[in-house]
Structure 1
Amino acid sequence: MNISEWITQVRRGILEYCILLLVSDNPRYGYEIAAILQQWEPLAVTEGTLYPLLRRLLKEKYITSTWQESSSGPPRKYYYLTEDGKNLLKQMDHEWNHLIQGVMEIRQFKGEKT
């Protein structure tokens, strides 16, 4: 596996987690989600990545959507967490914290003599 393949694998799960985080407090529309993720280059997504992921999350009932009128253009589709989405995000938060803690402990351990 080369670094590009590794990055692709890591990003898949992290992007889903970040999208759920972004819609957990405020409903957001697709372009807005993409614009926020653009602020962090490793998380930047294209429409070809974002919208299939949103469709999958809708199909799995982790998010729901509604159309709302926009004062600056056509109506926008806003995404919200469902109860299942809130439960999934809570589980992801728990697992993410354990994962980060484990990685940090390994980083410290690698320098220790056994």
Structure 2
Amino acid sequence: MGDPVGGHDSQLLRGVLPLLILTLLDERESYGYELVERLRELGLAGLATGVVYPVLGRFERDHLVTSRLVASSSGPARRYYAITEHGRSAQMDAAAKWTAIARIAERGLDRKEKHA
């Protein structure tokens, strides 16, 4: 099937990326590039590094995440992001909506397969 990012609609990625970022931050605090690597491990191999940072900035403005700078021995300080309670609530709401939409899509696709 190839690269899920390069080979699929960027609108779908824009819809699910915020949910995935919040979900990963709910697992543990991470810095930006670490989040990119974790998303790539999920299967978004072609994900551009710069795609995550605007989402994190918006999340911070909306109080869904907090950030802190941590000194790094291998270069400049890293900004670590952690989910807030507001962010956790938003993540749970977004996950429920995504699951409902995915179920509808699966039912539609199942119908097509049955009529093929």
Provide TM-score, normalisation by structure 1.
Answer: 0.82
- Assess if the C-alpha contact under 8 Å between 2:33 and 2:49 holds in 1: no
- The number of aligned residues is 108
1:18-47 Cα deviation digits (max 9, x unpaired): 111111120000111112223323661232
Give RMSD over aligned pairs.
2.0
What is the Cα deviation at residue 59 of structure 1? 0.7
Which ranges in structure 2 are unaligned for 5 or more consecutive residues?
A: 1-5
User: Which residue of 53, 60, 63 maps to 1:61?
Assistant: 63
1:85-100 correspondence runs (5 A) = 85-100=87-102
Corresponding residue for 1:46? 49
**Partner residue of 1:12?**
14
Runs of 4+ deviating beyond 3 Å: none
Whole-Å separation in 2 of the counterparts to 1:90 and 1:79:
18
Which stretches in structure 1 are left out of the alignment for 5+ residues? none
Question: What SS does the aligned partner of 2:9 have?
Answer: helix
Q: Aligned residue for 1:107?
A: 109
